[in-house]
Structure 1
Amino acid sequence: MRHLPIGSLVYEFSRHLEPRARVGPGETLVVASEDALSGQIRTDADRRDKAAVPYSNPLNGPIFVEGAEPGDALAVTIREIRPSIGQCATRTADPRQLCEWLGTEVPHGTHVCAIKDGLIHWSDAIAIPYAPMLGCIGTAPDWGAPTTAPAGNHGGNLDLIEVCPGNTVVLPVFVPGGLLYLGDAHAAMGHGELSATGLEMPAESTITVDLRKGPKIPGPRVEGPGEIMAVATGCPAERSMAEAFARLILWMEAEFGWDRWRAYDLLTHVARISVGYYGIGTVGVKVDRRYLGGGG
């Protein structure tokens, strides 16, 4: 199995960089990534130094997928996400919108946690189940080079807990080869990523990259054994929620034989919502696969 080690840290989903790897459809590889804090916090005494490294969420890539052309999609199945150094880190230095209620005198709050025996040892009294996911995954757009701060139709900083082992992330292709990037692994994260920092960790992610030839999809999707999810992003989050619902409805119509208005009715009663980082309004809307065969 091929291994893609960490190279120069990349903070954009750029079509201008030379591929770090070329893979054929169906190929599996292990991709190493640095944590979202750019490796600056390894102990509770460390501090995030944005003067030295101003950006967050470094990526590994791009990965060129042979045969991928604009209008296709990459289907990236996440097989495993392993911590590279047996620990994760978080910080609470940026309360942002919460300052209105919590105040601005916030301690730096650097917090390093050991990962052992399937648990994240948050404190002597609290252990959190290890539930890894990738905060950032995406392809390179054909116009501009979005950073690793926002999300968009190319993917990006999705911060959705469903981007996890066992699921497949489906991403639009905008340029030849797709140019896949990934990084920002979390040992676990709650919905909304409240402090804008999950339990960040350097990691090795085992992925299988498949190619789907058209029709073009409007944005990221997540497919799991038990559910499917459409994603939209942007503020206000209410609009993203509506767009994600619409994308799921049209997906159900195009691929599962549903009448759009019957799907609209059904989702009113059975859909569920997943929220990425609340500051950028990323929303996933999902439905259990058991409903998809009901037709419309």
Structure 2
Amino acid sequence: MKRLSFDSFQYEFNRQQEPRLHIEPGETIQVETEDALSGQIRKAGDRRDKAKVPFSNPVTGPIYISEAEPGDMLAIKIEAIESRDGQCATYTGNPKQLCQWLGTDVPDGAHVCPIEDGFVYWSEKIKIPYTPMLGCIGTTPAYGMPSTMPAGPHGGNMDIREVTVGNTLYLPVFVTGGLLYLGDAHAAMGQGELSATGLEMASQTALTIDLVKGKTIAGPRIESPEEIITVASGTPMERATAEAFAQMILWLEADYGWNRWRAYDLLTHVAEISMGYYEGGGLAVKIAKQYVEYPS
């Protein structure tokens, strides 16, 4: 199995960077990533100092997938996400829109949480189930050079909990080779990622990356054993919600034989929503496969 180590802090999806790994479609690889806090909180007393490291969400890559061309689609099966050092970290962060009600006198709140026996020990009395996910993963756009802060049609900083072990993420290809980057692993994250900081961890992730030739999609999709999921991003979040619903309807129409207006009706009654960082506008719409199988 090929392995890609964490090498240096990168904060852009950069099509001008030389690929660090070349793979064939269908290969399974292991990728090391640094945490979203750029490794600044590792032990008691550490603090997130943006004066020294102003950026967040360093990614590892790019990964070049042979035969991938614009208009194709990557199918990325997430096989495993593991902590590299048996711990994760978080801090209070800036409450931003909450300041109207909570004020601006915010403690740093930085602390390191051990990961043991399938739980994150957030405090001596509170343990949180270990449910790892990738917050930031994406292909490289054909124009511009987005940072690892926003999400978009390429993926990016989606912070969607369903980008997790056992699920397959579908991403559009915009440039030759796809040029995939990933990072920002979380040991767990609540809906909305309120403080913009999950339980951040340096990770080792196993991925099987396949290629679907000639399959063009408008943005990220996810498939779990039980659901299909569309992802959109942008603000206001109502706009991202509308786009994610529309992309789900078009997916049902194109691939599953649904009439779009019957799908529109059905989603009104059975769809669910998953939120990424509430201020960033990342939003996923989900529908159980039990409904998808019966076009009407």
- 2:205, 2:280 → 1: CA distance? 25
Kindly provide the amino acid, as one letter, of the partner of residue 68 in structure 2: A
Q: Could you say what secondary structure the match of 1:7 adopts?
A: coil
Kindly provide the amino acid, as one letter, of the partner of residue 277 in structure 1: Y
> What is the RMSD computed on CA atoms of the aligned residues?
0.6
Which structure 2 residues correspond to residues 175-194 of structure 1 after superposition, within 5 A?
175-194=175-194
- 1:166, 1:41 → 2: CA distance? 29
Comparing 147-156 with 91-100, which one deviates more in the overlay?
Answer: 91-100
- Cα distance, 1:93 vs. partner? 2.6
- 1:76, 1:12 → 2: CA distance? 20
- 1:291, 1:214 → 2: CA distance? 27
| 1:124-153 CA distance string (max 9 Å, x none) | 111100000000000000000100110000
Kindly provide the amino acid, as one letter, of the partner of residue 263 in structure 1: A
Give the corresponding residue for 1:217.
217
Q: Could you say what secondary structure the match of 1:294 adopts?
A: coil
- Cα distance, 1:88 vs. partner? 0.3
Give the corresponding residue for 2:164.
164
Structure 2 unmatched runs, 5+: none
Give the corresponding residue for 2:65.
65
Kindly provide the amino acid, as one letter, of the partner of residue 167 in structure 1: N
- Cα distance, 1:51 vs. partner? 2.0
Kindly provide the amino acid, as one letter, of the partner of residue 212 in structure 1: V
Give the corresponding residue for 2:76.
76
- 2:39, 2:114 → 1: CA distance? 16
Matched, 1:267 2:267: yes
Give the corresponding residue for 1:226.
226
- 2:109, 2:93 → 1: CA distance? 6
Matched, 1:10 2:10: yes
Kindly provide the amino acid, as one letter, of the partner of residue 287 in structure 1: I
Give the corresponding residue for 2:147.
147
Give the corresponding residue for 2:50.
50
Which structure 2 residues correspond to residues 116-155 of structure 1 after superposition, within 5 A?
116-155=116-155
- Cα distance, 1:241 vs. partner? 0.3
Q: Could you say what secondary structure the match of 2:12 adopts?
A: coil
Kindly provide the amino acid, as one letter, of the partner of residue 133 in structure 2: M
- Cα distance, 1:44 vs. partner? 2.8
Comparing 199-208 with 5-14, which one deviates more in the overlay?
Answer: 5-14
Structure 1 unmatched runs, 5+: none
- Cα distance, 1:52 vs. partner? 1.8
Which structure 2 residues correspond to residues 198-209 of structure 1 after superposition, within 5 A?
198-209=198-209
- 2:163, 2:80 → 1: CA distance? 11
Q: Could you say what secondary structure the match of 2:292 adopts?
A: helix
- 1:82, 1:110 → 2: CA distance? 22
- Cα distance, 1:293 vs. partner? 1.3
Kindly provide the amino acid, as one letter, of the partner of residue 42 in structure 2: R
- Cα distance, 1:75 vs. partner? 0.8
Q: Could you say what secondary structure the match of 1:88 adopts?
A: strand
- 2:93, 2:144 → 1: CA distance? 30
Kindly provide the amino acid, as one letter, of the partner of residue 275 in structure 1: M
- 2:64, 2:58 → 1: CA distance? 18
- Cα distance, 1:49 vs. partner? 1.7
Query: Percent identity among equivalent residues?
Result: 61
Structure 1 segments, 4+ long, off by >3 Å, are none
Q: Could you say what secondary structure the match of 1:18 adopts?
A: coil
Matched, 1:294 2:271: no
- Cα distance, 1:111 vs. partner? 1.4
- Cα distance, 1:48 vs. partner? 1.1
Aligned residues: 296
How does the TM-score come out when normalised to structure 2?
A: 0.99
Check the 8 A contact 2:5/2:31 in 1, yes or no. yes
- Cα distance, 1:173 vs. partner? 0.3
Kindly provide the amino acid, as one letter, of the partner of residue 111 in structure 1: H
- 2:215, 2:128 → 1: CA distance? 41
